[in-house]
Amino acid sequence: MSENVKPLYAHGYFYMHETGLVDQVIVFDYWDPDRYYWKLLSKPTLLEEERQMLADNMQYYLDKEKVLINDIEAPPRVIDVEIGVRGKPELPYIVFLIEFKGELRKGLNKYENIYEEEVAEYEYIVFWFFPENAKIVKAELGVPYFVEPNGRTLFFRVKPGTRVGGREAIYFRIE
């Protein structure tokens, strides 16, 4: 990645299936005045090298986290990385596809993520979608969150300058 590429915004989507599999999609939007990624898109070999480097970097950070489902480790793994632009060559995005899996049970369940504290450099929003037979009971996220009236969708927004990390937990009931 070029040193002139600056993060603008990020979206995180977590889809938990009844099997305990979680599909995670993270989309980062950037400002790229030098059009570094735009230029890479026409160079397949260099693009693939960049995708692999980004996957390795993300995996490095994921390996530093501890993800637990019902107190049992559920290590996240990067399964793909895509790079593109949003309408203008100076507005690239990077999509990380990540998955992890735990064992769900009837009754109360807990997702937990323990990671290093940091100060958010850019705004981001996170959405959680739980199975149809789930209801969110509470969350400990360190920021305000909202549970949709369906009881199984949660989201929260983090503004730049917000201290995040340490621990996140979402408690949900499976009927």
* Residue range 67-97, pLDDT digits in tens: 999 999 999 999 999 999 999 999 999 999 9
Q: Other C-beta atoms within 10 Å of 152: how many?
A: 19
What is the rounded CA–CA span in Å between residue 83 and residue 53?
12
Q: What is the pLDDT of residue 110?
A: 98
* Residue range 118-156, pLDDT digits in tens: 999 999 999 999 999 999 999 999 999 999 999 999 999
Strand pairing of 77-85 and 134-140? unpaired
* Residue range 42-52, pLDDT digits in tens: 999 999 999 99
Q: What is the pLDDT of residue 1?
A: 62
pLDDT-derived band at 165, boundaries 50, 70, 90: confident
pLDDT-derived band at 2, boundaries 50, 70, 90: low
Say if 156 falls within a structural domain: yes
Q: Helices in the chain by DSSP H: which ranges?
A: 36-40, 44-64
Closest CA to 54 of 4, 116, 1, 123: 1
Rounded to an integer, the average pLDDT of 24-37 is 97
Say if 106 falls within a structural domain: yes
| Tokens describing residue 152 | 């199984």
Say if 31 falls within a structural domain: yes
- CB within 8 A of 155, min separation 6: which ones? 125, 126, 127, 128, 145, 146, 148
Say if 67 falls within a structural domain: yes
The sign of the dihedral angle between the CA atoms of 119, 152, 82, 38 is negative
Q: What is the pTM of this model?
A: 0.94
Say if 153 falls within a structural domain: yes
DSSP at 120: -
Say if 159 falls within a structural domain: yes
Say if 1 falls within a structural domain: no
Number of compact structural domains in the chain:
1
| Tokens describing residue 55 | 């996957």
Amino acid in the structure at residue 86 = R
Note down the domain range covering 27. 6-174
Say if 79 falls within a structural domain: yes
Q: Other C-beta atoms within 10 Å of 41: how many?
A: 16
Q: What percent of the chain has pLDDT over 90?
A: 97
